[in-house]
Structure 1
Amino acid sequence: MRKANHRSAFASDPKFMERISKQLKRDAGQPPHQPEVTAQPSAPEKKPSKATQRLKKVQHANMDGRLDLIAFDAASGVLTVCFPGAKLVSLNTMLRVHDAKATSLKTTWFKRVECLRYLQKDVFEEWGRSARFPLVVEEVYISGEANLLDTESVAAACKPVIDAFVSNGFLPDDSPAYVAHPLPYTSRGTAPGLVICFRPTVRAWGLIEDSTIQVATSLPG
């Protein structure tokens, strides 16, 4: 049996064809449909984190080295460097920021120590001729801020400072052959700043008691 042709049935319906004709005429007089474009709201500007804000504040404070002082006592072999107004940043803050931001802080310290090297060339050269190693590095940080760093944080925060002394030729390296250990201390004061003192020691372990070294070197293997 032959199947009915539905298309032929529609074509033979005059009313249906009339409706199609009217629709085609209306469509011919209208512009093609353009999809509506909705403007996307711009993403709000990301606010810098507290760690980033803190790092910028510290970096800005450490750019001013106009009052920095350096002194060398040939008799004791002690080199003392004063950084008035300097600020330190905690290890937790450093861990929360991008490496590029941390590097910028290290660069700031490099430039500050570099200025000392050129402005106090005579002291730098005398130290280079007379320096004795290893050294105990005294790191005294006076802070005027509410949150006081602990001593471990002071030692960690001074690492970029010691690296700056190495990079500028004050120290051959910060390995145990040249730096026995840091000796950090911090307190609050009305005149904040950082003092670094390089003090020669006759023992590779600095101020650590000999008895403690003996215990450490006698641990069962």
Structure 2
Amino acid sequence: MRVLFADDDVIARTLLCAVLADLGHEVVLAEDGERAWQYFQDDPVPLVVLDINMPGLDGLTVCRLIRDHPAGRETFVIMVTARDGRDDLTAVLSAGADDYVTKPSSPENLRARLEIAGQRIVQNAASRAAEAELARSRWLAGIGETTIAIEHEINNPLSALLGHAELLLMDEAMTPEQVESLRIIQEQAVRIADVVRRLARLKNPQSVEYLSGSRMLDLGPKTS
């Protein structure tokens, strides 16, 4: 897993980098908050470790920026702080951090916190996947119920409309303009019937982009 680590303390960077590398992570190093924020914008990562006190942007500010970024809402953020007072820890959590580590900290403690972070990231990803699958199941169920309603509520009056149009077209007293209007009504009614038929035959519904920022159900090719 790629991890972004920002700390202006060379010794702290060396220690944590060794622990991260030992756990098999790929480390992206930043020497201050501004670089950390720039790196995250360029290439968001699932785990970020930030020292609170850094030149330029401090860790709390970077954490807030990450939380406001669309790709950072699910990022696991660990703050590294030399202060562990109640107000300090409240500030860390208020900034949106998931966990914190006080320094100096032993390699064992760092390893434990990072392993917990890794487990949480995996669990959160699995939870999001399950929620997405549940949402899709509900979406599919909704499509099925909607299809039944559409077939019932549209097909019946549509059949009556087409039948009456056919009867009117058999009337020799109809003017050419009236005949043309009836033909148009027929064509559009047939199009509606085709849409209902394609909707009823969907086996694996998918959505496609319709307009900028919106999507629509893909009904597949026309059947008539």
| TM-score normalised by the chain length of structure 2 | 0.24
Hey, which of these two has a bigger chunk of helix by percent? 2
If asked which structure has higher relative contact order (CA below 8 Å, sep 6+), I would say: 1
| TM-score normalised by the chain length of structure 1 | 0.24
| Structure whose alpha-carbon radius of gyration is higher | 1
